[in-house]
Amino acid sequence: MHRAVKAGQDALLQKQQPWQITPSDFFDAMQTPRALFARLIGSAADNIAIVPSASYGIALAAANLPVPPNQKILVLAEQFPSNIYAWRRLAQEKNARIHTVPRPPDSDWTTAVLNALDAQTAVAALANCHWTDGSRIDLEKIGARCREVNAALVIDGTQSIGALPFDVTRVQPDFLVTIAHKWLLGPYSYAFCYVAPQWCQGRPLEENWLNRAGSEDFTGLIDYRDDYQPGARRFDMGEGSHFILAPIAATALDQILSWDAASIAATLQHHTDRIAAEAQRMGFTVPAAAYRTPHLIGISHRAGLPKKIAAVLAAEKIFVSIRGNAIRIAPHVYNTPADIDRLLAVLRKVI
């Protein structure tokens, strides 16, 4: 957003004068985005770690959750790789197994996951919607089932947090990670990881000076300490202050909170419902309304997609992603009904 760009430009200019950066700035830079993200998901700021990526947050969960031998780690078919590779390594190291929930023909991921969760499940590593087509996953129901079978719930929220309401008190995940550069409208290489209170005494992925207790006092940094900053701050990445990225992320979060995630979702649903209806008239297949998310929709075609369809759309200044046999369309509040008209007109020409 324009406001976020301005925040980044101001931060760059400030970095030209590093002598004006004080010891407290190293910590203050993290506090505003940490607190704003906590508000967005209904968490305390103490439970939020500043991390660089989704894969970092997933690796953090994998390093701290117990996985006994022969138990299973539950994932979705065609899940985004950042929420796969750490679990494959962990399963190999712990003599556990990966259980992949197949894609349900009716897009009802929630029922498919609930049927797969049992006493043999150590971890359910899931998303809040499927990244290829936006098909919905009811994490409140799944969270309740995870607690019944004593399975940990780890969520990669990259695909919707910021565009859909999310409340950690209702879902109760063990770990939740989401990146800033997608639906949070923020910078690349900046992300947030929620850590449930029961895991806040765990082991960080890295030992840096910022996450140690008392490191605000620069004069005492050589008095090495074994204790950490309180709560999830022990998991903060090195150089988490990010004097340029942090204000961009904070500015974007402030705007999202002002708009309100529920209002964003309602706005975007007008677009995706219209896309779904018109796409079906053209012969496309879309997830049923009950299993769609408001902000993200994937449309596929029985005859397959025309070659270079993304390039054809891009030539018309319409930008989508091809995920498998689906065109993934992700409108936002800056899109207008006229934008949707143009998208549909081009699709009619190429199908």
CB of 50 closer than 8 Å to CB of 192: yes
Q: What's the pTM?
A: 0.95
State the average pLDDT over residues 175-201: 97
**Per residue in 310-330, pLDDT tens?**
889 999 999 999 887 889 999
Domain range 2-259, CATH class: alpha beta
- DSSP code of residue 18: G
Q: Look at the domain 261-350 and name its fold.
A: Aspartate Aminotransferase, domain 1 (3.90.1150)
Phi/psi of residue 167, nearest 5 degrees: -135, 115
CB atoms within 10 A of CB 102: 10
Average pLDDT over residues 114-132: 97
Distance CA 100, CA 217 (A): 48
Kindly tell me if the per-residue pLDDT of 303 is higher than 90. Answer: no
pLDDT confidence tier of residue 197, bands split at 50, 70 and 90: very high
Give the residue from 162, 180, 240 showing the smallest Cα distance to 204: 240
Domain boundaries, the chain: 2-259, 261-350
| Mean pLDDT over each residue of the chain, to the nearest integer | 95
How do residues 268-289 score in pLDDT, each as one tens digit?
A: 999 999 999 999 999 999 999 9
Stretch 102-109: mean pLDDT, rounded? 94
pLDDT band at 207 (very low <50, low <70, confident <90, very high): very high
pLDDT at 290: 93
Tokens of 149: 């079978």
Confidence of residue 350 (pLDDT cuts 50, 70, 90): confident
pLDDT at 67 over 90: yes
Burial class (CB in 10 A: 0-12, 13-18, 19+), 49: buried
Does 205 score more than 90 pLDDT? yes
pLDDT recorded at residue 284: 93
